[in-house]
Amino acid sequence: MSHARIGSRIALPLQLRNIGDLATDRRVMVQWESEGGLAFDRKFSNCTYGSGDDAVEPGGHTSVACIFEAPVPAGTTVELSSLLTATVGKRVLNAVTDYSVTLLRPNVQPGGGSERGTGPALTLVPASGPGNGFEAGAKGRFTVSADNFADLAATATVRPGRHPGEWTLDLNAVNHGPASVYSTVGKAVALVDVVLPKGTVATGNAFEEGEDSPYGQCLLRVSDTRTAPFEAGHRPYVCPVPFGVAAGKSQFFELWVKTAKGYDGAGGTATVRRGPAGVPLHDPDAANDSVAFAFGASATSTATAPSGGILAAAGAGRAALVVGAAGCAALLGGVVFVVRRRRGSH
């Protein structure tokens, strides 16, 4: 789904098909797990709803798990008795939702959120349409692309070290919002392209592994399309933003720098660019994408024209969305399920 309006409510239709030769003899669980800011309407009593406990972005992760007790006969196609709906939150840029169907074993307590809906139960009813477009597999995914943007900016601060000629370069990829940016494909959503001034080299990178670490990793830039693990003694580096950055927050990087005796105060640059995850930022302000710095001087923002940049085109763009037929299949206890999500309205 593309060009969804912020604050609008969207429908998420779903169909299931039993293509086995037995009726289901277990509870059917359908789950939706969303990253990016969709807020599911909590209205069905046989569904549990959850949201992430991330203090930075509480509504970033949301989930729904619905349990259906009635058997699904062999060879039939069913759909939700009422549409599952969600609101496009103010931080949504590209929200990705994974969905799946499972047959639960007896006495197994399903996972899911902690809050139960307060309305009538959601049921499975005979499908109203032909039910074409099913795909094999136990899981599916769709994307909601909102009419929103994320203004990413680069900042740089220099601090003197303990000894003459030693400096610390603090870099930030700042998200001025209004949208938050998430990575759901295991690739960086943004890159900070750093070029140290002539007469200087990096001697180290403060880096701690883990999503909660305040320090991000910087890599050696080998070419316009290649990087290597950090190595001291060079000037061009790339600092990826791997997990995403919430609106109003930033990803911090720190490089240790050594100036040569002949360093004349030349300047370097740090530029934030779209990363190989391919998430379109729709960034409206190019003036704060790049910042100039020099050791012994204050950093200043400099306007930069849009550029392919290093690795900026390494991933496919994700402006296209998946709202057409998509589905999944699961083989459990002699029953084969296929699910299909039909085009929703918004």
What does each C-alpha distance from 213 to 130, 189, 251, 253, 285 come to in angstroms?
A: 50, 17, 10, 11, 28
User: Are residue 160 and residue 283 in the same domain, yes or no?
Assistant: yes
pLDDT per position as a tens digit, 152-183 = 999 999 999 999 999 999 999 999 999 999 88
pTM listed for this prediction: 0.76
Most confident of 41-55, 237-251, 290-304, 331-345: 237-251
Q: How far apart are the C-alpha atoms of 88 and 40, rounded to whole Å?
A: 9
User: What's the pLDDT score for residue 185?
Assistant: 81
pLDDT per position as a tens digit, 305-314 = 333 332 322 2
The answer to the question of residue 49 being in a domain is yes
User: Are residue 19 and residue 63 in the same domain, yes or no?
Assistant: yes
User: What's the pLDDT score for residue 137?
Assistant: 55
Average pLDDT, the chain: 82
Q: Which domain range does residue 206 map to?
A: 150-302
Handedness of CA 229, 234, 239, 240 (dihedral sign): negative
Does the pLDDT value for residue 35 go beyond 80? yes
Q: Which is more confidently placed, 302 or 268?
A: 268
User: Are residue 330 and residue 271 in the same domain, yes or no?
Assistant: no
Q: How far apart are the C-alpha atoms of 104 and 186, rounded to whole Å?
A: 30
The residue behind tokens 């349409």 is 129
The answer to the question of residue 142 being in a domain is no
The answer to the question of residue 164 being in a domain is yes
User: Are residue 154 and residue 298 in the same domain, yes or no?
Assistant: yes
User: Are residue 282 and residue 162 in the same domain, yes or no?
Assistant: yes
Radius of gyration of the chain (CA): 25
The answer to the question of residue 273 being in a domain is yes
User: Are residue 131 and residue 158 in the same domain, yes or no?
Assistant: no
User: Are residue 170 and residue 258 in the same domain, yes or no?
Assistant: yes
Q: How far apart are the C-alpha atoms of 192 and 218, rounded to whole Å?
A: 9
Does the pLDDT value for residue 133 go beyond 80? no
User: Are residue 333 and residue 270 in the same domain, yes or no?
Assistant: no
- The residue-averaged pLDDT of 115-126 equals 92
The answer to the question of residue 15 being in a domain is yes
Contact 166, 232 (CB under 8 A): no
The answer to the question of residue 80 being in a domain is yes
User: Are residue 108 and residue 207 in the same domain, yes or no?
Assistant: no
User: What's the pLDDT score for residue 299?
Assistant: 53
The answer to the question of residue 307 being in a domain is no
Does the pLDDT value for residue 4 go beyond 80? yes
Q: How far apart are the C-alpha atoms of 37 and 182, rounded to whole Å?
A: 10
pLDDT per position as a tens digit, 81-109 = 999 999 999 999 989 899 899 898 887 77
Does the pLDDT value for residue 207 go beyond 70? yes
- CATH code at 235? 2.60.40.1510
pLDDT per position as a tens digit, 221-261 = 999 889 999 999 999 999 999 888 999 999 999 999 999 99
Q: How far apart are the C-alpha atoms of 260 and 241, rounded to whole Å?
A: 30
Q: Which is more confidently placed, 275 or 18?
A: 275
What does each C-alpha distance from 337 to 33, 112, 134, 324 come to in angstroms?
A: 19, 21, 10, 19
User: Are residue 259 and residue 293 in the same domain, yes or no?
Assistant: yes
Looking only at the bridges linking them, the beta strands covering 9-12 and 84-88 are antiparallel
Does the pLDDT value for residue 18 go beyond 90? no
